Amino acid sequence: MKRKVYLTFPQKLIRDPLIYRVGHEFRVVTNIRCASVTDEIGVVGLEFEGEPEEIGRAMEYLKSRGVLVEPVVMNVIE
Protein backbone atom coordinates (compact mmCIF):
# COMPACT_ATOMS: atom_id res chain seq x y z
CA MET A 1 0.00 0.00 0.00
CA LYS A 2 1.11 3.57 -0.67
CA ARG A 3 0.00 6.62 1.27
CA LYS A 4 0.93 10.25 0.62
CA VAL A 5 1.02 12.86 3.36
CA TYR A 6 2.25 16.36 4.04
CA LEU A 7 4.50 16.71 7.06
CA THR A 8 4.91 20.09 8.72
CA PHE A 9 7.90 20.35 11.03
CA PRO A 10 8.00 23.16 13.59
CA GLN A 11 11.23 25.10 13.96
CA LYS A 12 12.49 23.00 16.88
CA LEU A 13 12.30 19.78 14.80
CA ILE A 14 13.76 20.94 11.47
CA ARG A 15 17.22 19.53 12.14
CA ASP A 16 15.99 16.27 13.71
CA PRO A 17 16.33 13.34 11.23
CA LEU A 18 12.81 12.03 11.84
CA ILE A 19 12.18 10.73 8.30
CA TYR A 20 15.43 8.77 8.50
CA ARG A 21 14.37 7.30 11.85
CA VAL A 22 10.93 6.33 10.53
CA GLY A 23 12.56 4.45 7.65
CA HIS A 24 14.76 2.50 10.05
CA GLU A 25 12.41 1.92 12.99
CA PHE A 26 9.30 0.92 11.03
CA ARG A 27 8.80 -1.47 8.14
CA VAL A 28 8.01 1.28 5.65
CA VAL A 29 9.75 2.80 2.67
CA THR A 30 9.77 6.59 2.66
CA ASN A 31 9.98 8.63 -0.54
CA ILE A 32 10.30 12.42 -0.32
CA ARG A 33 8.22 13.79 -3.19
CA CYS A 34 8.69 17.51 -2.48
CA ALA A 35 10.03 19.69 0.29
CA SER A 36 10.39 23.29 1.39
CA VAL A 37 12.58 23.95 4.40
CA THR A 38 13.55 27.28 5.93
CA ASP A 39 15.03 28.22 9.28
CA GLU A 40 11.50 28.62 10.66
CA ILE A 41 9.50 25.69 9.23
CA GLY A 42 9.76 22.57 7.11
CA VAL A 43 7.04 21.17 4.85
CA VAL A 44 7.58 17.79 3.19
CA GLY A 45 5.42 15.81 0.77
CA LEU A 46 6.16 12.21 1.75
CA GLU A 47 5.03 8.90 0.31
CA PHE A 48 4.92 5.86 2.59
CA GLU A 49 4.93 2.35 1.21
CA GLY A 50 4.23 -0.69 3.37
CA GLU A 51 1.53 -2.51 5.27
CA PRO A 52 -1.33 -0.22 6.39
CA GLU A 53 -0.75 -0.97 10.08
CA GLU A 54 2.96 -0.16 9.85
CA ILE A 55 2.28 3.08 7.95
CA GLY A 56 -0.18 4.02 10.69
CA ARG A 57 2.42 3.32 13.38
CA ALA A 58 5.00 5.44 11.54
CA MET A 59 2.56 8.34 11.21
CA GLU A 60 1.63 8.13 14.90
CA TYR A 61 5.33 8.23 15.80
CA LEU A 62 5.77 11.44 13.80
CA LYS A 63 2.69 12.98 15.42
CA SER A 64 3.96 12.03 18.88
CA ARG A 65 7.18 13.92 18.16
CA GLY A 66 5.29 17.10 17.24
CA VAL A 67 5.06 16.81 13.43
CA LEU A 68 1.75 17.79 11.83
CA VAL A 69 0.71 14.92 9.53
CA GLU A 70 -1.97 15.65 6.92
CA PRO A 71 -3.20 13.40 4.10
CA VAL A 72 -2.64 14.50 0.52
CA VAL A 73 -6.16 14.97 -0.79
CA MET A 74 -5.27 15.51 -4.43
CA ASN A 75 -2.44 13.88 -6.31
CA VAL A 76 -0.51 17.16 -6.66
CA ILE A 77 2.94 15.85 -5.74
CA GLU A 78 3.20 13.47 -8.68
Residue 3 near residue 64 (C-beta atoms within 8 A): no
Residue 78 covered by a domain: no
In the predicted structure, residue 3 carries a pLDDT above the cut 60:
yes
To 10 degrees, the CA torsion angle through 27, 72, 74, 3?
10
Buried b (16+ CB within 10 A) or exposed e, 17-49: ebbeebbeebebebeeeeeeeeeeebebbbbbe
Q: Residue 76's pLDDT is what? A: 53
- Give residue 9's domain range: 2-71
Give per-residue pLDDT as tens, 4-59: 999 999 999 999 999 999 999 999 999 999 999 999 999 999 999 999 999 999 99
pTM (two decimals) = 0.90
The domain that holds 48 is classified in CATH as 3.30.70.260
Specify the higher pLDDT residue, 23 or 78. 23
* Structural domains in the chain (count): 1
- Strand segments, DSSP code E, in the chain are 2-10, 28-37, 41-50, 68-71
